[in-house]
Amino acid sequence: MIRSLLAVGALVCGIGAVLAQSDPIATRKATMKKVGEANAEVTKINKGEAPFDLVKVQAALTAMQGAAKAMPALFPDNSKTGGDTAALPKVWETKADFDARWEKLGKEAAVAAAAIKDEATFKVAYADMGKNCGGCHESYRKKQQ
């Protein structure tokens, strides 16, 4: 039983990895969706619509770090168009800057994750995380539809 579960698990992981390679657009969209969903919970806390929740905050920072690691590799040259992508050509024109911004986000999210223990530290350490989102979306993503 355990063996077959492991086999299924390995298969699923394998399919995931293959999908990531064969369809980078779908993968990066799914990755960003995860970040958005996790960050939406934190936005509610920031707006005073939900109580502080350390688990939710850490989940958002984890999602950001995961995206920061995975995303730069998900923009191969053959993924500039198609799949309803919102990525602008500028991603490939200034790929070094694009990648550097991901690295910055990853680092800042890691620092914040280590620093945030409670609501007080959250308010200080999370305050500027959102600027990373806008900074990149301004240059590299089409307007929201």
96's CB contacts (< 8 A; 6+ apart) are none
How many residues sit close enough to another protein to count as binding (CB under 8 A)?
A: 27
Report helix, strand and coil shares of the chain as percent, to nearest 5. Answer: 75, 0, 20
Examine residue 144 and tell whether it contacts another protein (CB under 8 A).
yes
Examine residue 141 and tell whether it contacts another protein (CB under 8 A).
yes
Q: What are the backbone angles phi and psi of residue 80, rounded to the nearest 5°?
A: -75, -30
Among 16, 37, 90, 115, binds another protein (CB under 8 A): 37
- Min. distance of Cβ 26 from another protein in angstroms? 15
Residues 21 and 76: their CA atoms lie apart, in Å, by 10
Look-up: residue for tokens 């550097």?
100
Among 20, 26, 41, 59, binds another protein (CB under 8 A): 41
Binding site for another protein (CB under 8 A): 35-43, 46-47, 49, 81, 84, 86, 130-131, 133-135, 137-138, 141-145
